[in-house]
Every structure is written in structure tokens, then in C-alpha cells.
């Protein structure tokens, strides 16, 4: 069993490319380690993850090494991760802090934690296969409301609709997640990996197709009028005004 902790507490564990890359490497290591049966992901401090670092989204870094960095290699690793993956959601989960969860086999969430899919409010659209996985996991109407309104989903609601498996008291969350991981890890690893492969085989092609659709439409909207207004409002600490923006096809 391996515990991975998102550790940018001063930024509420928002994902920049460095964090994406570090978590991707850690997941690769766990996937290739024959002694690791399960992985638990949690956050340091009071957040699980506040999502994409919007400062980096507005000013993306340039890498001279030619390697792939950031969100895409990370989500490719997560969507095909070959071993049981458990999330211990200790606080807010926004953006990828929410869309990561349907890729996890089990999600435990602390009472008081909240989840949010802010994409439409940022002038973009769904990511990480969530246009497919959220309706599958929580039903069409709950997914539509979550995505269309960018409203908060409380921990109790997350369990009720099926996005999370178990509600925990905050001080017991990690212990319960680790206990569940240890219970799973008592099983033969080859059987666990084979079972996870069968579960993934039933959906992986559909997830990749959905994500390809999302990526195309996200790229069309990113940098557009609504996205520029949302990012400017974030930097200026004001509410965005989308009432006078031109429409897109």
C-alpha cells in the first residue's frame, strides 16, 4: 500500500505542472512496483485540491526539453492505473480535485468537505472524461446540475449521489482510507490487477473517446472571450460578467 499526498497546502493543493508531473511519476512507480497493491491519494492541510492553478493557466510555462508535462500525461496515467486507487478527500475538491474522483475505485470523504466543477464558470468545459464518467457515476441530472451551475456539492450529497463511497469524520478519514487499503492489499496482487483490468476494459475506450471530445472543445473555448473574462476576474478578485460576451459556434 502506498500513500500519496498532494502537498501544496499554501495553494490549497492546486495543480501546477510540477504537481501533475510529481503525482504522475509517483503513480508510475506504484504501478510498476510488484510489492504495491493499492494507492491512497489525499491532500495536505485543509484542501484535497483546489484544481488547476489558474495563475499557471493564464501564463502556461514553456518547457525546452520536449517532454510532455502536466495534465494530459497525468490523466492518461490515472485513467488506466492498473491497481486499486482510493481517494481520501479531506477538504475542498475543485476542478481536477473533483474530476479525479470518478477514476478512483473508492472515494472516502470527510464531513465538511465540498466538491465543485467550475468549468462553465471559467468559460471552458468538462475535462478528464467527466462528461462520460459523472453521468455514469451520479446520474444525468445530478451531473448536469453540477456541471451547468458550478455549484458546491457537500460531502453528504456526494455520498448520497454516489460520487463518494463513505462519509468519515475528518479526524478518522485517513485512518479509514488506509484501513480499507490494507484490507484490499491482503488479496493476491495478480488477482487485484486482473480484476482492475477487467473493470477498466469495460470503459477505457469510451473514457478516452470522451476525453478526446472534451479536449477539442476545451481547446476551442480556452483563451476565448468568456475564459479571458473569467481569468481576469480571478486576478482582479471580482465576479466575472459574461452578459456582454459574443457567442461562439
Average pLDDT of the segment spanning 37-48:
97
Of residues 67 and 46, more confidence is placed in 46
Please return the burial class of 219, using the count of CB atoms within 10 Å of its CB with bins 0-12, 13-18 and 19+.
Answer: exposed
Mean of all residue pLDDT scores within the chain: 93
Q: Which residues contact 7 (CB under 8 A, 6 or more apart)?
A: 13, 44
CATH 3.40.50.12780 fits 2-171+188-198, yes or no: no
Of 89, 139, 83, nearest to 113 by C-alpha is: 89
User: Full-prediction pTM beyond 0.85?
Assistant: yes
Q: Give every CB contact of residue 171 below 8 A, 6+ residues apart in sequence.
A: none
pLDDT exceeds cutoff 60 at 195: yes
CB 3 within 8 A of CB 85: no
Domain ranges of the chain: 2-171+188-198
Task: For residue 174, name the pLDDT band (cuts at 50, 70, 90).
Answer: very high
How far is Cα 135 from Cα 151, in angstroms, rounded to an integer?
16
DSSP 64: T
Task: Give the tens place of pLDDT for each residue, 49-86.
Answer: 999 987 766 566 666 565 678 999 999 999 999 999 99
Q: What's the average model confidence in pLDDT over 131-153?
A: 97
Amino acid at each position: 500500500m502506498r500513500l500519496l499526498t498532494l502537498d501544496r497546502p499554501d495553494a490549497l493543493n492546486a495543480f501546477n505542472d510540477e504537481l501533475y508531473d510529481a503525482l504522475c511519476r509517483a503513480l508510475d512507480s506504484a504501478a510498476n512496483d510488484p510489492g504495491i497493491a493499492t494507492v491512497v491519494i489525499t491532500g495536505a492541510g485543509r484542501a484535497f485540491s483546489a484544481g488547476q492553478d489558474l495563475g499557471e493557466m493564464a501564463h502556461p510555462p514553456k518547457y525546452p526539453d520536449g517532454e510532455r508535462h502536466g495534465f494530459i500525461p497525468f490523466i492518461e496515467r490515472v485513467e488506466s492505473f492498473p491497481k486499486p486507487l482510493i481517494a481520501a478527500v479531506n477538504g475542498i475538491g475543485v476542478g481536477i480535485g473533483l474530476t479525479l474522483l470518478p477514476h478512483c475505485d473508492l472515494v472516502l470523504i470527510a464531513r465538511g468537505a465540498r466538491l465543485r466543477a467550475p468549468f462553465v464558470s471559467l468559460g471552458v468545459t468538462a475535462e478528464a472524461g467527466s462528461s462520460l464518467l459523472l453521468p455514469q457515476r451520479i446520474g444525468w441530472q445530478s451531473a448536469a446540475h453540477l456541471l451547468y451551475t458550478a455549484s458546491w456539492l457537500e460531502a453528504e450529497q456526494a455520498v448520497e449521489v454516489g460520487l463518494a463511497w463513505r462519509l468519515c469524520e475528518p479526524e478518522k478519514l485517513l485512518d479509514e482510507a488506509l484501513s480499507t487499503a490494507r484490507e484490499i492489499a491482503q488479496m493476491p496482487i495478480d488477482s487485484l490487477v486482473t480484476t482492475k483490468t477487467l473493470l477498466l476494459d469495460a470503459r477505457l475506450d469510451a473514457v478516452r473517446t470522451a476525453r478526446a471530445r472534451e479536449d477539442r472543445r476545451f481547446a476551442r473555448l480556452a483563451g476565448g472571450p468568456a475564459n479571458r473574462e473569467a481569468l481576469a476576474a480571478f486576478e482582479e478578485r471580482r465576479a466575472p460578467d459574461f452578459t456582454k460576451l459574443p457567442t461562439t459556434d
